[in-house]
Structure 1
Amino acid sequence: MNSPEPLLTDHLSNHQLTNALPCRIGSRSLIRNEKDEILLGQSRLLPESDQLLTWDLPGGWAQPGEEPRAACRRTIREAFGVSVDPIDLLLLHWQPPQDGAAEEHTYVWNAPRLPSRTAFQLADDEVVQARFVPRNQLTAYVPDSVVERIDAARESLGRGRPDYLASRAAS
């Protein structure tokens, strides 16, 4: 009788398995209009709060076991009230754990263009505003790490192949 194959985790201690930091999977889309402006959504970091607003590309977090492209499609439909089918992967962005938060792996997808006058049906509990923003005004809306993500995705789009971006830990 053959012994069972060892599990890949057999070499790890119980402490290593139960104390591993979680990983969050994000999935966002680079959605542009006819003027090449980039769609951003302003959302609440804490849904029950009127404070702590942040801007980012449309999308959100994948649920456990959810495929990233499907997560992107779902979160945009839920938050913006429009159906967007992500086309191609542009970027995988890794961010290390910091300030007690888990490390993040964010997929950024190319999406079909939307007209400037698209009527979004925003989810009041999530997204409070949506707007197309020219590239030269991004820094007025998003932190440097998101500008870096958007620029890397746009460069990938121009090259016609996906790319990888690793952010450094905050010092």
Structure 2
Amino acid sequence: MSLTPDDPDVWNAYLAEGNAKQARKRVAADVLLRDSAGRVLVVNPTYKPGWDLPGGMVEANEPPETAVGRELREELGLDVTLHGLLVVDWVAPHGPWDDQLAFIFDGGTVDLPHELHPQDEELSEARFVPMETALTLVRERMRRRLKAAADALHHGRPTYLRDGMQIW
């Protein structure tokens, strides 16, 4: 007898077994957000060294683009409409971490009537800086991703990276 979806209970048990054995990926989702002067929003996390783009880790069964919106609201009190995908980066296992998928979305341009202040303890500071400054503030892995995001924005198409190196 071959396994078919004709018996939903048996079929779902089969699928659940396969699901339990398949790899789970950590997923991060960040946003490239600019002001009208072309400066980039960077944030200073309290839980790791170096600056970063706003965003964070995706929760279980949460779409990456939803995670970006949630993180921006929680950490900065911002509601931003995303304009598309700029980067997907597959990050190899490193240190104690398994592999990861890291997304950067285009948050477009915003002009805020006030200075940004972190809304929770995960960030100590948030500010718009020129791209050149942003590239000196972020760590190497994010630097490669941020450069690729700027290129993707310029060329009007997303890019795929493997450990920060452009594949396509």
Structure having the higher helix fraction is: 2
Between the aligned partners of 2:135 and 2:30, the Cα distance in structure 1 is 18
Task: Report the CA distance shift for 1:96/1:8 in structure 2 as closer, same or farther (over 3 A).
Answer: farther
Output the aligned Cα RMSD.
2.6
Q: What TM-score results when the alignment is normalised by the length of structure 1?
A: 0.80
Match of 1:82 among 65, 78, 83: 78
What corresponds to 2:92 in structure 1? 96
Render the CA deviation track for 1:60-115: whole Å, top value 9, x for unaligned: 11110001111111111101111112110111011111001121111111112122
1:82, 1:120 within 8 Å by CA — same for their partners in 2? no
Quick one: structure 1 residues 112 and 139, their matched pair in 2 at CA, closer, same or farther if it must change by over 3 Å?
Answer: closer
Distance in 2, matches of 1:38 and 1:56, equals 11
Deviating beyond 3 angstroms after TM superposition, the runs of 4 or more aligned structure 1 residues are 5-11, 116-119
Please give the secondary structure, in 2, of the residue aligned with 1:136.
helix
Q: Deviations over 1:4-36 (max 9, x none)?
A: 24857989xx9xx49x5x421111110011111
Identical counterparts, % of pairs: 27
Q: 1:117 to 1:55 in 2, by over 3 A?
A: farther
Runs of 5+ consecutive residues of structure 1 not aligned to the other structure: 46-51
Check if 1:148 corresponds to 2:144: yes
What TM-score do you get using the length of structure 2 for normalisation?
A: 0.81
* CA-to-aligned-CA distance 1:101-153 (integer Å, 9 cap, x gap): 12111111111212265433412311110011212223431112211111101
- How many residues align? The count is 156
Instruction: Give the Cα–Cα distance (whole angstroms) in 1 for the partners of residues 73 and 115 of structure 2.
Output: 13
Paired residue type of 1:75: E
